[in-house]
Structure 1
């Protein structure tokens, strides 16, 4: 959940910084408005990409559900569930997170109103070619690339100095204030989760938060229109997130998120007002692969629009990320090289979403072979 991100976010660190450009492409929502039956060839996936034979909905009920109120109070059973969820799934859902239902629904309603606007209004917030804040698309790096069946609205929320408020919609009225309130609350939830992750990784609660320095955070609203042939497209390409963790709010009644597990794709069935959490690449590197960021994707359907809201928590760009010292020993040799997070993030942005390709770049050569030998 791509700053992929995937799901998935990137910020200009300073005003003069530029990021890997994304090639402008048409709005999928507008294509559907103009011709609901049209599916241009550029969106059509191969059978191999879709992997329909490996669809595993029977495993969906097994995705862990964790009570954040118990977890934040150090409940031993919930900490154990968190450890298992991060090792075996890389994904889990949280309930009792403390965010008011009214705020969750206001965020959903305001976003829905924005996407109902005429394209001329939405384009006032169009994403520039050298940034990822605004309305449009990201990760389009070649003219030959198969495109995702989705549009996005994205903005950096913290630190405040990286915000570009010209990309925060003024319509519907009050949307900016709703984004502010939602970002503040979900930031709190993210910090509580990082504290618990720090504990299960054998450290004091504050360590992971401090390692991030002043963490970078952003929201990406993913808009997936209906598709007349949903079996031929993907709303979001398979990828892992380049974040530390990602917190996702889904529609309660429209499934679409799928995660890779045991060689297949498992749908994440929405739980009303719960949040979906996934391990990002940074946690995978810090844990030396004990907790792995997991590929996920979004599928579409024929009749309903689906919207999701991904909140990405990332280190500052100058943070050097590598396996933590206390995790490395003779039985657990270092599998990942030290990377500066800003460099890692930018190399992710130069490639299309492609599974675990970017985390493979961070691995020490021959580490996969060594794992198999062990």
Structure 2
């Protein structure tokens, strides 16, 4: 069933300004509120997070400049062939977001990928990482084509990590790691994160309604956490965990971060924190189409994925396990988990 969720299901809002205060009790209350949202919903709006409004405006401005380039210019920085390197420009249809995982190179895996790709994801993206990660080399548009883009995005990448790192510290405090707020953060150097610029082009609504195309099917993220910035187009939906199969719109709160728990943090926390399904569908009916030909509005969003370093071992946080609640997952490295998921997506 794909319907509208009950009114009782809401994405909470947390004011992060208290985290920058010296008041220990205020910081603990904020951390507990944040963790409660991660337990109950898996998604939370974070306001007063520390990223300037002008910086976010500039990020969207650069994203629009990038995607307005000719296809020839965008293809000067193409996503490398295969799934191992996840950087550069991905054209509509290259990527197929899925919840499925493969274990190797079997015929069953090939059939799975073939079936998934019968419906094209109609979006284009540009992925950026740390310049210090030799295993994931960035693919840049030439400076002469888009001057200033590389410098801005490198700076924006690390500004996002500063805020994301503080969110991870608050989560650690909220789950009971009172004496080690850096427990999760210390596995994140920042060099394995991913900044993604996304553009959903305007397409005939019929293509989406007939399911010949999709914007982004329901999925969870592979990260520890994801920080999302979005425009006012609409379309992001979060699964109502009280009514599986129904989705609630994650409407824009200006200058907020929509933060969600990723698969690795759910595993780390022994299912204490929830990695929730979400998707990008048609926007609300009132904002859905433009013109007599029922063409969708184009949509821009910028997710930032915080991921542990590849050799980091994802094993249960001590505060999230007990004799009555033993660890549910076998330890796995970030690199191993990433391989399982990425081999289907590209």
Whether the TM-score (by the shorter chain) exceeds 0.5 is yes
Shifted more, 344-353 versus 91-100: the winner is 344-353
Q: Determine the structure 1 residue equivalent to 2:125.
A: 152
* 1:1-374 equivalences in 2 (<5 Å): 51-52=1-2, 54-56=3-5, 58=7, 62-73=10-21, 74=24, 75=26, 76-130=28-82, 131-136=85-90, 137-139=94-96, 142-144=113-115, 145=117, 146-157=119-130, 159-161=132-134, 164-168=137-141, 170=143, 171-203=145-177, 204-212=180-188, 216-229=192-205, 230-232=208-210, 233-251=213-231, 253-261=232-240, 262=242, 263=244, 264-300=246-282, 301-302=288-289, 303-352=296-345
Q: Tell me, what secondary structure is at the counterpart of 1:105? A: helix
SS of the counterpart of 1:343?
helix
Map Cα deviations across residues 267-298 of structure 1 (whole Å, 9 max, x no partner). 10111111110101111011100101111111
- Cα deviations by residue, 1:91-131 (Å, 9 ceiling, x for unpaired): 01111112121111111011101111111111111112132
TM-score normalised to structure 1 length: 0.75
CA distance in 2, matches of 1:169, 1:98: 31
Query: Relative to total residues, which structure has the larger helix share, 1 or 2?
Result: 1
User: Which whole-Å deviations, capped at 9, do the CAs of 1:296-320 have from their partners, x for residues lacking one?
Assistant: 1111343311011111111111111
Specify the SS of the correspondent of 1:207: coil
Unpaired runs of 5+ in structure 1? Answer: 1-50, 354-374
Residue by residue over 1:140-167, the C-alpha shift from the partner in whole angstroms, topping out at 9 and shown as x without a partner, is: 7734422212111112136454563443
2:130 aligns to what SS in structure 1?
A: strand
- How many equivalent pairs are there? 300
- Coordinate RMSD, CA, aligned: 2.2
| Cα gap change, 1:128 to 1:135, in 2 (>3 Å) | same
Relative to the length of structure 2, the TM-score reads: 0.80
How far off its partner does 1:207 sit? 1.3
Counterparts in 2 of 1:117 and 1:215: CA distance versus 1, 3 Å: closer
Partner Cα separation in structure 1 for residue 195 and residue 142 of structure 2:
13
Say whether the 8 Å CA contact 1:159–1:214 is kept in structure 2. Answer: no
Say if 1:149 and 1:87 are closer, same or farther in 2 by CA, change over 3 A: same
Q: Tell me, which stretches of 5 or more residues in structure 2 are unaligned?
A: 98-109, 283-287, 290-295
Instruction: Tell me the distance in 1 between the aligned counterparts of 2:142 and 2:16.
Output: 32
